Amino acid sequence: MAKPLLEQLRNYTVVVADTGDIESIEQFKPQDSTTNPSLLAAAAGMPHYQSIVDGVLLEAKKQLGDKAADSAVANLAFRHLAVAFGRKILAIVPGRVSTEVDARLSYDTEGTMKQAREIIAQYDEAGISRERVLIKIASTWQGIKAAEQLEKEGIHCNLTLLFGIHQAIACAEARVTLISPFVGRILDWHKKNSGKDFRGADDPGVQSVTRIYNYFKKFGYKTQVMGASFRNIGEIQELAGCDLLTISPQLLEELQQTTGELPRKLDAEKAKTMDIHKIPMDEAAFEKMHAADPMATDKLKEGIESFSAALVKLEQLLAARLTALGASQEKAMASR
Protein backbone atom coordinates (compact mmCIF):
# COMPACT_ATOMS: atom_id res chain seq x y z
CA MET A 1 0.00 0.00 0.00
CA ALA A 2 1.40 3.39 -1.04
CA LYS A 3 2.36 5.70 1.82
CA PRO A 4 1.44 9.39 2.10
CA LEU A 5 3.93 11.67 0.36
CA LEU A 6 4.55 13.55 3.61
CA GLU A 7 5.65 10.39 5.37
CA GLN A 8 8.05 9.55 2.52
CA LEU A 9 9.39 13.10 2.36
CA ARG A 10 10.50 12.86 5.99
CA ASN A 11 12.88 10.04 4.96
CA TYR A 12 14.90 12.46 2.81
CA THR A 13 14.25 15.93 4.16
CA VAL A 14 13.64 17.78 7.44
CA VAL A 15 10.05 19.05 7.27
CA VAL A 16 9.48 22.54 8.67
CA ALA A 17 6.09 24.19 9.25
CA ASP A 18 5.77 27.63 7.66
CA THR A 19 3.17 29.11 10.00
CA GLY A 20 2.55 31.02 13.21
CA ASP A 21 -0.56 28.95 13.91
CA ILE A 22 0.18 26.78 16.95
CA GLU A 23 -2.69 24.41 16.18
CA SER A 24 -1.31 23.61 12.72
CA ILE A 25 2.09 22.88 14.22
CA GLU A 26 0.51 20.52 16.74
CA GLN A 27 -1.37 18.77 13.93
CA PHE A 28 1.55 18.13 11.56
CA LYS A 29 4.36 17.71 14.10
CA PRO A 30 7.22 19.18 12.04
CA GLN A 31 10.85 19.01 13.16
CA ASP A 32 11.26 22.80 13.01
CA SER A 33 9.01 25.81 12.46
CA THR A 34 9.42 29.25 10.98
CA THR A 35 7.32 32.41 10.89
CA ASN A 36 7.47 35.74 9.08
CA PRO A 37 5.77 39.12 9.68
CA SER A 38 2.76 38.24 7.48
CA LEU A 39 2.19 34.97 9.36
CA LEU A 40 2.61 36.67 12.73
CA ALA A 41 0.12 39.38 11.80
CA ALA A 42 -2.41 36.72 10.79
CA ALA A 43 -1.86 34.70 13.97
CA ALA A 44 -2.04 37.78 16.20
CA GLY A 45 -5.46 38.57 14.78
CA MET A 46 -6.90 35.16 15.71
CA PRO A 47 -9.15 35.24 18.81
CA HIS A 48 -7.61 32.15 20.41
CA TYR A 49 -4.17 33.82 20.54
CA GLN A 50 -5.50 37.00 22.16
CA SER A 51 -4.14 36.06 25.59
CA ILE A 52 -0.60 35.85 24.16
CA VAL A 53 -0.99 39.21 22.43
CA ASP A 54 -2.49 40.88 25.52
CA GLY A 55 0.23 39.53 27.78
CA VAL A 56 2.96 40.89 25.50
CA LEU A 57 1.25 44.28 25.19
CA LEU A 58 0.84 44.71 28.94
CA GLU A 59 4.46 43.75 29.54
CA ALA A 60 5.64 46.25 26.89
CA LYS A 61 3.47 48.95 28.46
CA LYS A 62 4.92 48.18 31.87
CA GLN A 63 8.46 48.29 30.49
CA LEU A 64 8.02 51.68 28.75
CA GLY A 65 5.75 53.31 31.33
CA ASP A 66 2.20 54.65 31.25
CA LYS A 67 3.18 57.83 29.41
CA ALA A 68 4.63 55.97 26.42
CA ALA A 69 2.79 56.42 23.11
CA ASP A 70 0.76 53.44 21.93
CA SER A 71 2.87 53.32 18.75
CA ALA A 72 6.08 52.94 20.78
CA VAL A 73 4.51 50.23 22.92
CA ALA A 74 3.27 48.44 19.77
CA ASN A 75 6.76 48.50 18.23
CA LEU A 76 8.33 46.98 21.34
CA ALA A 77 5.46 44.49 21.63
CA PHE A 78 5.97 43.24 18.07
CA ARG A 79 9.58 42.29 18.89
CA HIS A 80 8.46 40.48 22.03
CA LEU A 81 5.46 38.89 20.32
CA ALA A 82 7.70 37.11 17.80
CA VAL A 83 9.61 35.54 20.70
CA ALA A 84 6.40 34.73 22.58
CA PHE A 85 5.14 32.76 19.59
CA GLY A 86 8.61 31.25 19.16
CA ARG A 87 8.57 29.98 22.74
CA LYS A 88 5.12 28.45 22.25
CA ILE A 89 6.31 26.76 19.07
CA LEU A 90 9.44 25.38 20.76
CA ALA A 91 7.23 23.71 23.36
CA ILE A 92 5.83 21.62 20.49
CA VAL A 93 8.58 21.06 17.92
CA PRO A 94 11.72 19.10 18.86
CA GLY A 95 14.01 21.25 16.72
CA ARG A 96 14.38 24.96 15.98
CA VAL A 97 12.25 28.03 15.42
CA SER A 98 13.14 30.96 13.15
CA THR A 99 12.38 34.45 14.46
CA GLU A 100 12.66 37.38 12.08
CA VAL A 101 14.44 40.70 12.46
CA ASP A 102 12.45 43.79 11.43
CA ALA A 103 12.50 43.85 7.60
CA ARG A 104 12.88 47.63 7.74
CA LEU A 105 16.46 47.00 8.91
CA SER A 106 17.33 44.95 5.81
CA TYR A 107 19.98 47.44 4.60
CA ASP A 108 21.24 48.32 8.09
CA THR A 109 24.00 45.96 9.27
CA GLU A 110 24.41 47.47 12.73
CA GLY A 111 20.66 47.78 13.31
CA THR A 112 20.14 44.16 12.28
CA MET A 113 22.84 42.92 14.65
CA LYS A 114 21.46 45.00 17.52
CA GLN A 115 17.94 43.64 17.12
CA ALA A 116 19.17 40.06 16.61
CA ARG A 117 21.06 40.28 19.90
CA GLU A 118 17.92 41.62 21.62
CA ILE A 119 15.87 38.71 20.27
CA ILE A 120 18.40 36.07 21.31
CA ALA A 121 18.67 37.70 24.77
CA GLN A 122 14.93 37.10 25.26
CA TYR A 123 15.37 33.43 24.40
CA ASP A 124 18.43 33.28 26.69
CA GLU A 125 16.38 34.74 29.57
CA ALA A 126 13.71 32.09 28.96
CA GLY A 127 16.34 29.37 29.30
CA ILE A 128 16.12 28.33 25.63
CA SER A 129 19.32 27.08 24.03
CA ARG A 130 20.70 29.12 21.14
CA GLU A 131 20.94 25.88 19.18
CA ARG A 132 17.13 25.93 18.97
CA VAL A 133 16.80 29.46 17.57
CA LEU A 134 17.53 30.86 14.11
CA ILE A 135 17.45 34.62 13.51
CA LYS A 136 15.84 35.37 10.14
CA ILE A 137 17.51 38.14 8.15
CA ALA A 138 16.91 39.32 4.57
CA SER A 139 19.63 38.27 2.09
CA THR A 140 20.89 41.75 1.25
CA TRP A 141 24.66 42.24 1.31
CA GLN A 142 24.21 44.21 4.54
CA GLY A 143 22.09 41.43 6.05
CA ILE A 144 24.62 38.78 5.09
CA LYS A 145 27.44 40.76 6.70
CA ALA A 146 25.37 41.11 9.88
CA ALA A 147 24.76 37.35 9.89
CA GLU A 148 28.46 36.66 9.40
CA GLN A 149 29.29 38.55 12.60
CA LEU A 150 26.35 37.09 14.52
CA GLU A 151 27.43 33.54 13.65
CA LYS A 152 30.85 34.31 15.16
CA GLU A 153 29.01 35.24 18.37
CA GLY A 154 27.15 31.93 18.45
CA ILE A 155 23.88 33.39 17.14
CA HIS A 156 22.65 31.18 14.32
CA CYS A 157 20.99 32.75 11.30
CA ASN A 158 18.45 31.90 8.61
CA LEU A 159 18.92 34.12 5.54
CA THR A 160 15.55 34.69 3.92
CA LEU A 161 14.21 36.42 0.79
CA LEU A 162 16.86 34.60 -1.23
CA PHE A 163 16.33 34.44 -5.00
CA GLY A 164 19.72 34.22 -6.70
CA ILE A 165 22.85 32.06 -6.67
CA HIS A 166 24.92 35.15 -5.76
CA GLN A 167 22.95 35.58 -2.53
CA ALA A 168 23.35 31.89 -1.73
CA ILE A 169 27.11 31.85 -2.32
CA ALA A 170 27.63 35.01 -0.24
CA CYS A 171 25.69 33.36 2.61
CA ALA A 172 27.75 30.18 2.37
CA GLU A 173 31.01 32.16 2.35
CA ALA A 174 29.75 34.00 5.45
CA ARG A 175 29.16 30.59 7.09
CA VAL A 176 25.55 31.23 7.97
CA THR A 177 23.64 28.27 9.37
CA LEU A 178 20.73 28.20 6.92
CA ILE A 179 19.34 29.84 3.79
CA SER A 180 15.71 29.98 2.61
CA PRO A 181 15.49 30.28 -1.20
CA PHE A 182 11.94 31.25 -2.22
CA VAL A 183 10.75 28.72 -4.79
CA GLY A 184 7.22 29.99 -5.35
CA ARG A 185 8.09 33.66 -5.65
CA ILE A 186 10.68 32.82 -8.31
CA LEU A 187 7.97 30.90 -10.18
CA ASP A 188 5.55 33.83 -9.80
CA TRP A 189 8.02 36.23 -11.42
CA HIS A 190 8.76 33.98 -14.39
CA LYS A 191 5.08 33.21 -15.00
CA LYS A 192 4.24 36.90 -14.95
CA ASN A 193 7.11 37.91 -17.22
CA SER A 194 6.94 35.03 -19.71
CA GLY A 195 3.24 34.22 -19.76
CA LYS A 196 4.18 30.54 -19.50
CA ASP A 197 3.13 27.93 -16.98
CA PHE A 198 5.92 25.78 -15.55
CA ARG A 199 5.62 22.27 -14.15
CA GLY A 200 7.86 19.80 -12.38
CA ALA A 201 11.58 20.08 -13.07
CA ASP A 202 10.94 22.97 -15.52
CA ASP A 203 9.83 25.19 -12.62
CA PRO A 204 12.41 28.05 -12.38
CA GLY A 205 12.13 28.07 -8.58
CA VAL A 206 12.86 24.34 -8.44
CA GLN A 207 15.81 24.82 -10.80
CA SER A 208 17.21 27.64 -8.65
CA VAL A 209 17.12 25.63 -5.42
CA THR A 210 18.52 22.55 -7.18
CA ARG A 211 21.45 24.63 -8.46
CA ILE A 212 22.12 26.10 -5.02
CA TYR A 213 21.90 22.71 -3.31
CA ASN A 214 24.29 21.07 -5.79
CA TYR A 215 26.74 24.00 -5.54
CA PHE A 216 26.83 23.82 -1.74
CA LYS A 217 27.35 20.04 -1.68
CA LYS A 218 29.95 20.15 -4.46
CA PHE A 219 32.16 22.56 -2.54
CA GLY A 220 31.47 21.25 0.96
CA TYR A 221 29.70 24.27 2.43
CA LYS A 222 28.11 23.61 5.82
CA THR A 223 25.25 26.08 5.22
CA GLN A 224 21.96 24.19 4.96
CA VAL A 225 19.43 24.79 2.18
CA MET A 226 15.76 25.11 3.14
CA GLY A 227 13.41 25.53 0.17
CA ALA A 228 10.54 27.90 1.01
CA SER A 229 7.48 29.64 -0.44
CA PHE A 230 5.84 26.77 -2.33
CA ARG A 231 2.89 27.14 -4.69
CA ASN A 232 2.06 23.45 -5.16
CA ILE A 233 3.18 20.01 -3.97
CA GLY A 234 4.81 19.35 -7.35
CA GLU A 235 7.57 21.79 -6.40
CA ILE A 236 8.05 19.98 -3.10
CA GLN A 237 8.24 16.59 -4.82
CA GLU A 238 10.95 17.89 -7.18
CA LEU A 239 13.03 18.99 -4.17
CA ALA A 240 12.77 15.77 -2.13
CA GLY A 241 16.20 15.34 -0.61
CA CYS A 242 16.83 19.04 0.05
CA ASP A 243 18.27 19.60 3.55
CA LEU A 244 15.00 21.15 4.76
CA LEU A 245 11.72 22.33 3.24
CA THR A 246 9.41 24.80 5.00
CA ILE A 247 5.82 24.12 4.00
CA SER A 248 2.48 25.82 4.69
CA PRO A 249 -0.25 23.92 6.59
CA GLN A 250 -2.38 23.74 3.42
CA LEU A 251 0.36 21.96 1.45
CA LEU A 252 1.31 19.79 4.42
CA GLU A 253 -2.29 18.60 4.47
CA GLU A 254 -2.21 17.89 0.74
CA LEU A 255 1.04 15.92 1.09
CA GLN A 256 -0.51 13.93 3.94
CA GLN A 257 -3.59 13.12 1.88
CA THR A 258 -1.70 12.23 -1.33
CA THR A 259 -0.19 8.78 -1.86
CA GLY A 260 2.23 7.48 -4.50
CA GLU A 261 5.95 7.01 -4.99
CA LEU A 262 8.21 9.87 -3.95
CA PRO A 263 11.72 9.35 -5.36
CA ARG A 264 14.66 11.32 -4.02
CA LYS A 265 15.59 14.13 -6.43
CA LEU A 266 18.47 15.91 -4.64
CA ASP A 267 21.46 13.92 -3.47
CA ALA A 268 24.62 15.28 -1.85
CA GLU A 269 26.84 12.42 -3.05
CA LYS A 270 25.76 12.87 -6.66
CA ALA A 271 26.33 16.61 -6.42
CA LYS A 272 29.96 16.04 -5.44
CA THR A 273 30.60 14.37 -8.81
CA MET A 274 29.03 17.15 -10.90
CA ASP A 275 31.00 19.52 -13.13
CA ILE A 276 30.31 22.79 -11.31
CA HIS A 277 32.55 25.84 -11.46
CA LYS A 278 33.21 27.90 -8.35
CA ILE A 279 32.13 31.54 -8.45
CA PRO A 280 34.32 34.05 -6.55
CA MET A 281 32.18 36.27 -4.34
CA ASP A 282 32.79 39.68 -2.78
CA GLU A 283 30.62 42.78 -2.50
CA ALA A 284 31.42 43.97 -6.02
CA ALA A 285 30.64 40.57 -7.54
CA PHE A 286 27.46 40.34 -5.45
CA GLU A 287 26.18 43.73 -6.57
CA LYS A 288 27.10 43.07 -10.21
CA MET A 289 25.32 39.69 -10.27
CA HIS A 290 22.32 41.13 -8.42
CA ALA A 291 21.96 44.00 -10.91
CA ALA A 292 22.19 41.50 -13.78
CA ASP A 293 19.37 39.37 -12.33
CA PRO A 294 16.08 41.28 -12.72
CA MET A 295 14.09 38.52 -11.00
CA ALA A 296 16.26 38.60 -7.86
CA THR A 297 16.31 42.42 -7.91
CA ASP A 298 12.54 42.68 -8.21
CA LYS A 299 11.66 39.94 -5.72
CA LEU A 300 14.12 41.02 -3.00
CA LYS A 301 12.82 44.59 -3.15
CA GLU A 302 9.21 43.41 -3.24
CA GLY A 303 9.75 40.95 -0.39
CA ILE A 304 11.32 43.54 1.90
CA GLU A 305 8.50 45.99 1.13
CA SER A 306 5.86 43.29 1.72
CA PHE A 307 7.32 42.18 5.07
CA SER A 308 7.74 45.82 6.11
CA ALA A 309 4.08 46.51 5.27
CA ALA A 310 3.05 43.43 7.26
CA LEU A 311 4.96 44.81 10.25
CA VAL A 312 3.18 48.16 9.97
CA LYS A 313 -0.13 46.28 9.88
CA LEU A 314 0.88 44.22 12.91
CA GLU A 315 1.93 47.33 14.85
CA GLN A 316 -1.39 48.98 13.98
CA LEU A 317 -3.24 45.88 15.17
CA LEU A 318 -1.26 45.90 18.41
CA ALA A 319 -1.83 49.62 18.97
CA ALA A 320 -5.58 49.17 18.45
CA ARG A 321 -5.61 46.23 20.85
CA LEU A 322 -3.68 48.29 23.40
CA THR A 323 -6.32 51.05 23.17
CA ALA A 324 -9.07 48.45 23.67
CA LEU A 325 -7.26 47.02 26.67
CA GLY A 326 -6.92 50.47 28.20
CA ALA A 327 -10.62 51.19 27.71
CA SER A 328 -11.50 47.82 29.23
CA GLN A 329 -9.33 48.49 32.29
CA GLU A 330 -10.83 51.96 32.76
CA LYS A 331 -14.34 50.53 32.53
CA ALA A 332 -13.48 47.86 35.10
CA MET A 333 -12.09 50.46 37.51
CA ALA A 334 -15.12 52.72 37.07
CA SER A 335 -17.49 49.90 37.92
CA ARG A 336 -15.81 49.14 41.25
Q: Which residues are catalytic, by number?
A: 136
Per-residue exposure over 141-180, b if at least 16 CB sit within 10 Å of its own CB, e if not:
bbbbbbbbbbbeeebbbbbbbbbbbbbbbbbbbbebbbbb
Greatest pairwise CA separation for the chain in angstroms: 78
Are 137 and 171 in contact by the 8 Å Cβ rule? The answer is: no
Are 229 and 160 in contact by the 8 Å Cβ rule? The answer is: no
Give the span between the Cα atoms of 259 and 249, in whole angstroms: 17
Please name the amino acid found at residue 116. A
Beta strands per DSSP E along the chain = 14-18, 32-34, 97-100, 133-138, 157-162, 178-181, 224-227, 244-247
